Amino acid sequence: MPALESVFRDVSVLQAKHGLKVVGYWVPSGNEPAWDNTFAYLIEHPSRKAAEANWSALHADPAFQPYFKTAAPLIQHAEGNYKVDEVYMRPTEYSAMK
């Protein structure tokens, strides 16, 4: 996990450059072993369309490629795919963050 944290620490500048407004990064502390090697982060976007455009811009940036190459072997794989949960959410009417 420390190696993956290091990648995200360094790539955070590129994320911001491409409109990926990171609210925070988290790793479990003292949880069940099933949560070991879990890395979570939350990104704020004005819309789903903006999110998709921002991610595309980041992935197309040549400066991002070294980070991707470093992170790829650190991310679990399942059946040939990266084991990453990508969830788009909308705020509830009573949420402090809209």
pLDDT digits (tens, 9 = 90+) for 56-93: 999 999 999 999 999 888 887 777 777 778 888 888 99
**Integer Cα distance of 9 and 65 in angstroms:** 15
Higher pLDDT, 10 or 82: 10
Pairing of strands 81-82, 77-78: antiparallel
The CATH fold of domain 2-82: Alpha-Beta Plaits (3.30.70)
User: In whole angstroms, how far apart are CA 92 and each of 23, 27, 45, 85?
Assistant: 17, 25, 15, 21
Instruction: Tell me the sheet residues that pair with 24.
Output: 42
The pTM of the full predicted model, rounded to 2 decimals, is 0.78
The answer to whether residue 51 scores a pLDDT higher than 90 is yes
Across 30-42, average pLDDT: 80
